[in-house]
A and B are shown apart, each in its own frame.
Chain A
Amino acid sequence: MRVGILRSPSPLPGFGLSFGIMTAILSIVVLLPIGALLGRGLMIGPADLWDMLNSRRIWSALTLSFSAALIASLFNLVFGLMLAWVLVRYRFWGRRFIDAAVDLPFALPTAVAGIALTALYAPNGVFGQALAPFGLQVAYTEVGIWVALVFIGLPFVVRTVQPVIEELERDLEEVSATLGARRAYTLRRVILPTLTPALLTGFALALARSVGEYGSVIFIAGNIPNITEIAPLLIVIRLEEYNYDAAAAIGIAMLVISFAMLLVINAIQTWSRRRIGLA
């Protein structure tokens, strides 16, 4: 932001109206609901919240949601970077088509993705049958959850890294080459550090999305308590039992863990930006 311009008071009209509309809608749609959840947590009290969360089924669900999201996002970190690199740097037939297709998981409703993946990977599905001879079962296991979360998270990494690759200065790579660095060394020591902040942002976005993902996962997961039952599903189950306090407890736990995770990623990001002199 250009601070110099922002300091002079704006002569433009409409501040009251636009600020009013913004705060009104923000309050009704976002702040009030979040307040309701946190308020419920306060009413229950920390000790009772902890008691409610302290069950094997809830711990399994929370661990599964976060570990599967972590695994899928790490996978997307690698393949998303590769895809972004290929799309920006190489020219091949169908490149624009692939580029547009990367956003499919953004556009396709999660329930549609969920039933499609299940149909593919179920024991009688095309991929399910192909994998069965190797003893691999994807649908109704944790692997199925990973597959769904990879689908959901992929565009986040690609779309965050892609513009940064586009703006990389080729001069730096040439300098590195003239100084005698081999290509692999240049990639590792010149290019990768420049991409790290964007990679982390993409990773964080994919992670935040996959942790809370529900629609694409519940069809393929099998939903066996303690084994393939994700935390959002457990919230839905508690709500269907009208056990609002228990549902709120799991919801608060998810918010707190997500928030802590994003803080850590933010800290790593600041550190990596500073390392390449962007801070």
Chain B
Amino acid sequence: MPDITLSRPVPVTTEAPLIRGLLIGVALIFVALFLFAPLVTVFVEALRQGWVAALDALRLPDALAAIRMTLTIAAIAVPINAAFGIAAAWAITKFDFPSKAFLITLIDLPFSVSPVVAGLMLVLLFGANSTLGGWLIANDMPIVFAFPGILLATLFVTFPFVARELIPVMIEQGRAEEEAALTLGASGWRIFFTVTLPNIRWALLYGVLLCNARAMGEFGAVAVVSGKIRGETATMPTMVEMFYNEYLSVAAFTLAAVLAMLALLTLLLKSLLEWRHADLLAATRRH
């Protein structure tokens, strides 16, 4: 009998070790240069003159007003978009009506419109030079260069986040559980709160998280509609720009660092959701 020696299997579904190492190396360098370097720079520039200077910058009245404005906008815009997302997902996934695909395209539309163009649209609709805008201003309800304009701009740019997270999840889950609850005599709201909501809560949280990050960070659309009036309509990102243009580098980067910390917190929570509840998120998010 010939002696059969099994050699170690040669992996055929991966690259040679040298190429693997090279690709990992290039990927790491790329991420370090393009992603980490800008992030680190924000904190380095903020602390250029020490902690005290940075913290003093955050106590500037303009900075405080901007922080208050951004928090208020997010606190209103995010719940509205969450309500929209839930309503849209319920209507689209639980019922049949024509031109659903078109409706989904409309919901996704804000993602392919430049934020500046979004701001422009609001100025054209509600600005002093339009009929509607003129009437609103005459009745002391200005929208452009005022709070409602910033809110509408924020709603526009964050519009699809919750809906596009919920729709695939709810399509996947089907209607059987809700229909079972219905035959057991549950009311519509009871079905939603005891059957649907527990099924979609992680996906909803995920959408809300992304929506909130964008709501707090939006710059282009808000810059156009807000008029960037310091202390009145300036948000954190627009205040960063104003400080930067006035060569108040530490103030600009400190406010930017606060936003960067919010972004890091968002990423942390998002990763936790992806690791813990991957099976309850939309399929494209599973990795």
Contact = CB atoms under 8 A, between A and B. Distances in A.
Q: Do A and B come from one complex?
A: yes
Contact of B179 (A11, A15, A255): A11
A239 B111 contact: no
Interface string A253-279: 011001000100000000000000000
Given A7-B96, A34-B121, A212-B116, A12 B179 contact: yes
Contacts of A1: 171
Residue from the set A31, A107, A235 with the largest chain B CB neighbour count within 10 Å: A107
Nearest to B284: A163
A56 interface: no
B31 A98 contact: yes
Nearest to A166: B287
B67 to A, nearest CB: 13
Contacts of A40: 124
B16 interface: yes
A29 B211 CA distance: 15
A135 interface: no
A154 interface: yes
Interface string A1-35: 11001110111111101111110011011111110
Contacts of A143: none
Given A11-B179, A108-B217, A151-B38, A177 B12 contact: yes
A202 to B, nearest CB: 11
Interface residues of B, number: 101
Interface in A71-100: 79, 82-83, 85-90, 92, 94, 96, 98-100
Given A12-B178, A151-B35, A212-B116, A26 B84 contact: yes
Interface in B1-52: 12-16, 20, 23-24, 26-28, 30-31, 34-39, 41-42, 45
A255 B259 contact: no
Interface string B108-127: 01111111111011111101
Chain A interface secondary structure, helix, strand, loop or mixed?
helix
A215 interface: yes
Contacts of A132: none
Contact of A79 (B30, B188, B191, B256): B30
A255 to B, nearest CB: 7
A-B interface, 9 closest residue pairs, ranked by CB to CB distance from nearest: A212-B114, A109-B217, A177-B12, A33-B121, A215-B219, A13-B188, A36-B125, A214-B220, A232-B116
Given A12-B188, A34-B121, 16 more contacts: A18-B86, A20-B87, A21-B87, A22-B91, A29-B156, A31-B106, A34-B109, A82-B23, A86-B27, A89-B14, A112-B240, A116-B42, A116-B45, A119-B253, A120-B41, A215-B223
